Amino acid sequence: MRAGRSAADSRCLSGCRSGKMAAARVELESLEKTLGLRRRNKLGPSPSDSAVPVLQTNNGPGLVGLTTIASHLVKVAKKEALLGSTAEESAIVQQWLEYRITQIDRCNSQEDTRVVLKELNCYLEDKVYLAGNSLTLADIMVYNGLHHIVAGLTHEEREKFMNVSRWFNHIQHCPGVRQHSAAVIFMKNRLYPSVH
Amino acid sequence: MTKGESGGVQEDQPQSKKAAKKLQKEAEKAAKKAEKQAKLASENQAGDEEDFAKDRYGILPMIQSQEKLDRVLVHVKTLTEEKADQVVWLRSRVHTSRAKGKQCFLVLRQQQFNVQGLVAVGDHVSKQMVKFAANISKESIVDVEGIVRKVDQKIESCSQQDVELHIEKIYVISAAEPRLPLQLEDAMRPEAGDEEGRATVNQDTRLDNRIIDLRTMTSQSIFRLQAGVCQLFRETLIKKEFVEVQTPKIISAASEGGANVFTVSLSISQSMKYSLKFMFRAEDSNTHRHLTEFVGLDIEMAFNYHYHEVVTEIAGTLVQIFKGLRDRHQTEIQTVCKQYPCEPFKFLEPTLRLEFPEAVAMLKEAGVEMGDEEDLSTPNEKLLGRLVKEKYDTDFYILDKYPLAVRPFYTMPDPHDPKYSNSYDMFMRGEEILSGAQRIHDPQLLTDRALQLGIDIEKIKSYIDSFRYGAPPHAGGGIGLERVTMLYLGLHNIRQTSMFPRDPKRLTP
């Protein structure tokens, strides 16, 4: 009885995790295309945690983790500018990559997503990109992480988080970023003036 | 647990010591209280003896029509600067009272108006009288005589801001229980008031105590405005030479087969043409805009060549109602706005008329995925309302040419495209208030359509037969009174505009 239940639990767990793994693979593949990398890298699940992707490189042990692999791919593609052009920018890029993994990917409820959207909306009030004055890996990764959340918002909510919407709409139109994700539609005019 | 039990004996002594101390304290308290009461009583007695104003206040015996007084009672709303320094009598409710030393402030309310009253110790008012006034329970009805005085500083909390009443006599006509199920002030607080951490009253508590909730200035204004809608509806149609008719609500079978019908040995009719009446819906929808019993304002008219003659007539009637509300009920609109803020209602003349495919195109452009012949879902209706408002700046519009598949059997198909029909809905602030159509007046076509939709012809025989002896082309529509009031005022729940709302979960009060 007890053994049976725990087996079922672990099956569900691995099911969810392999789902996350598949999502990570799709995301990294689309990032390869964005970066203009021809060669497909081989991804596999980490032996200790199946939700974490591992990239087998030619030299040394595998690279573990979504943002680690993403940063590595940027360097392979020789587009280091995407990691920030100054020390400050690089630090900010790293901070948002971490935010993506620790905050956005761990949204389990409506309240969690509200908190994330509110924070981002405040941060983006006076910014075009997350770090510096041009597109960085932070924009791409946060865009990817938010896509399913923003796509599920009503027009009223998109208007409420207006700075997020403006930034998101801009990023999805940056060449090569969107790849196969569906374009999210934003209204050009305010429909809900009383929301503000 | 067991440890505590074993240690029970040991703890016994200190406990009893504590208990003894407690007892002693209580005894002291009681003694003090008794002393205080005795003092108070003696004071009162002393007071009674020297109360020079004892005829100026008190609880009146029940009014049983024993005498006809020719005393004139004025309405609170008439208390303005013009009445300054006059002595007036009025009957009102005690809205709030606040005693402060030798004076007591009362807010006296009559319907949606209120005025500040002051009972202050002076030549005519004794200490005891102030105390009596302060102890009158909220919502009690009192008769008051007082002098109207101008005030230097406007009284923000009252509708009569320029004057106050210096009370010289106050009698209780009907006392309210001291504990009320809800406080009127809480029930009138705007919802944004949460920030101050002050209480508001939820919808169910309001409805459970509707008698008290109806006393709020907001409710008073809502129902005055609603009466205005009915009056304007009648006025406008009488001018257009419409005839008011009364038809039975109890019929043998569902005439439409649209929504479910109550079956209580006899069915209650879903919809009849030409009148202003109670309607019933047996759908089990618990939403912000559905009631099981509501008031329908129905219009049905014959036309000459095109059903747009009727559409224009109905839209014109609604525009007359909107204009009338705006011109006659501004006070009510403002009062409701204080509790439920909302933008003023906007409309165009002539009314905007969109066709269904245009609406579908607008929605698709906004990223909504829907089929061409699909009915509008509630969220899509609301979004469309926003899109229309943004594009045309109107809160009122007509949506014409609905797909035939989503309308009842008696709806006339469109002559140019059989997928569509000569039917229309009207919307206020993105929500449907009226549904109507050109009806089929040809018995053969009517029978064919009923058969196509699998409706039992026998059950609607008398309806079909009525067209066998010649019938002019006609069209019409039914408006929900509660919805019009709700949406005109920008309220969010239809229960606020129904005096004693009925829904699948509520049959009382």
Residue-wise pLDDT tens digits, B417-432: 999 999 999 999 999 9
Q: How confident is the model at residue B72 (pLDDT cuts 50, 70, 90)?
A: very high
Q: What is the pLDDT of residues B434-466, one digit of tens each?
A: 999 999 999 999 999 999 999 888 888 888 888
Calculate how close chain A gets to B386, using CA atoms only, in Å. Answer: 6
pLDDT at A22: 80
Q: Are residues B343 and B331 in the same domain?
A: yes
The domain spanning residue A7 has which CATH number?
3.40.30.90
Is the bond leading into A47 cis (omega within 30 degrees of zero)? no
- Of A54, A78, A102, the one marking the end of a domain is A78
The domain spanning residue A104 has which CATH number?
1.20.1050.10
Q: Active site includes B483?
A: yes
What is the percent of chain B where pLDDT is above 70? 87
End-to-end CA distance of chain A: 55
- Specify which residues A87 forms β-bridges with: none
Catalytic-role residue among B97, B423, B435, B498? B435
Q: Are residues B221 and B343 in the same domain?
A: yes
Query: How far, CA to CA in Å, does B60 sit from each of B72, B128, B167, B171, B446?
Result: 18, 17, 17, 6, 69
CA-closest candidate to residue B325, choices B311, B306, B344, B310: B344
Residue A150 has pLDDT above 80, yes or no: yes
Q: Are residues B290 and B309 in the same domain?
A: yes
Q: What is the pLDDT of residues A93-143, one digit of tens each?
A: 999 999 999 999 998 899 999 999 999 999 999 999 999 899 999 999 999
pLDDT at B101: 86
**Helices (H), ranges, chain A:** 2-35, 66-76, 87-99, 110-123, 137-151, 155-160, 162-172
Q: Are residues B241 and B114 in the same domain?
A: no
Q: Are residues B191 and B153 in the same domain?
A: no
Q: How many CB atoms lie within 10 A of CB B277?
A: 18
Q: Which two tokens stand for residue B458?
A: 């026998």
Choose among A154, A184, A191: nearest Cβ to B390. A191
Residues contacting residue B122 through CB under 8 Å, at least 6 positions apart: none
Report CB contact under 8 Å: B367, A184. Answer: yes
Q: Which chain A residues contact residue B380 at CB under 8 A?
A: none
Q: Are residues B221 and B209 in the same domain?
A: no
Residue B266 has pLDDT above 60, yes or no: no
Report CB contact under 8 Å: B366, A187. Answer: yes
**Residue B508, SS3 per DSSP:** coil
Residue B211 has pLDDT above 90, yes or no: yes
Q: Are residues A94 and A190 in the same domain?
A: yes
A157/B contact by beta carbon, under 8 A: no
Q: What is the pLDDT of residues B113-152, one digit of tens each?
A: 899 999 999 988 999 999 999 999 999 999 999 999 999 9
Q: How confident is the model at residue B270 (pLDDT cuts 50, 70, 90)?
A: very low
Report CB contact under 8 Å: B366, A192. Answer: no
Q: Are residues B77 and B165 in the same domain?
A: yes
A195/B contact by beta carbon, under 8 A: no
Catalytic-role residue among B149, B234, B290, B474? B290
pLDDT at B195: 58
**Helix and strand counts by DSSP (H, E) for chain B:** 14, 16
B386/A contact by beta carbon, under 8 A: yes
Q: Are residues A40 and A100 in the same domain?
A: no
Q: Active site includes B56?
A: no
Q: Which two tokens stand for residue B183?
A: 């406080």
**Residue B398, SS3 per DSSP:** strand
Residue B508 has pLDDT above 90, yes or no: no
Q: Are residues B303 and B448 in the same domain?
A: yes
Query: How far, CA to CA in Å, does B206 sit from each of B195, B466, B482?
Result: 21, 46, 17
Instruction: Kindly report the three-state secondary structure assignment for every residue of B411-469.
Output: ECECCCCCCEECEEEEEECCEEEEEEEEECCCHHHHHHHHHHCCCCHHHHHHHHHCCCC
DSSP B179-228: S-SS-HHHHHS-GGGGGGT-----HHHHHHTHHHHTTSHHHHHHHHHHHH
DSSP B122-176: SSS--HHHHHHHHTSPTT-EEEEEEEEEE-SS--TTSSS-SEEEEEEEEEEEEPP
Q: How many CB atoms lie within 10 A of CB B250?
A: 11
The stretch A139-158 carries a mean pLDDT of 94
Catalytic-role residue among B164, B313, B381, B432? B432
Q: Active site includes B28?
A: no
Q: Are residues A66 and A107 in the same domain?
A: no
What's the longest Cα–Cα distance across chain B? Answer: 102
Distance (Å, whole) CA B156 – CA A43:
70
Q: Are residues B471 and B322 in the same domain?
A: yes
Q: Is residue B33 part of a domain?
A: no
Distance (Å, whole) CA B508 – CA A163:
48
Report CB contact under 8 Å: A191, B367. Answer: no
Report CB contact under 8 Å: B343, A155. Answer: no
Parent domain of A15: 1-78
Single-letter amino acid code for the residue at B327: D
Q: What is the pLDDT of residues B359-371, one digit of tens each?
A: 999 999 999 999 9
pLDDT at A174: 93
**What predicted TM-score, i.e. pTM, was given to this entire model?**
0.79
Q: What is the CA radius of gyration of chain B?
A: 32
Report CB contact under 8 Å: A185, B366. Answer: yes
The domain spanning residue B364 has which CATH number?
3.30.930.10
CA-closest candidate to residue B438, choices B470, B415, B413, B405: B413
Q: Are residues A66 and A152 in the same domain?
A: no
Q: Are residues A62 and A109 in the same domain?
A: no
Parent domain of B208: 185-214
pLDDT at B461: 84
Q: Active site includes B281?
A: yes
Choose among A154, A189, A194: nearest Cβ to B390. A189
Report CB contact under 8 Å: A192, B343. Answer: no
Q: Active site includes B290?
A: yes
Distance (Å, whole) CA B4 – CA A194:
61
The domain spanning residue B71 has which CATH number?
2.40.50.140
Q: Are residues A60 and A97 in the same domain?
A: no
Calculate how close chain B gets to A158, using CA atoms only, in Å. Answer: 12
Check: CB of residue B29 under 8 Å from CB of residue B143: no
pLDDT at A63: 86
Q: How confident is the model at residue B285 (pLDDT cuts 50, 70, 90)?
A: confident
Q: Which chain B residues contact residue A152 at CB under 8 A?
A: none
CA-closest candidate to residue A192, choices A158, A147, A153: A158
Check: CB of residue B409 under 8 Å from CB of residue B453: yes
Report CB contact under 8 Å: A184, B390. Answer: no
Nearest 10 degrees: Cα torsion B474, B480, B481, B486:
-140
Which range scores top for mean pLDDT: A25-34, B27-36, B185-194?
A: A25-34
Catalytic-role residue among B56, B93, B206, B289? B289
Check: CB of residue B185 under 8 Å from CB of residue B339: no
Q: Is residue B379 part of a domain?
A: yes
Q: Are residues A62 and A85 in the same domain?
A: no
Residue A12 has pLDDT above 70, yes or no: no
Calculate how close chain B gets to A185, using CA atoms only, in Å. Answer: 6
- Of A57, A78, A99, the one marking the end of a domain is A78
Q: What is the pLDDT of residues B382-419, one digit of tens each?
A: 999 999 999 999 999 999 999 999 999 999 999 999 99
Q: Are residues B139 and B205 in the same domain?
A: no
Window B:342-371, CB contacts with A under 8 Å = 342-343, 365-367
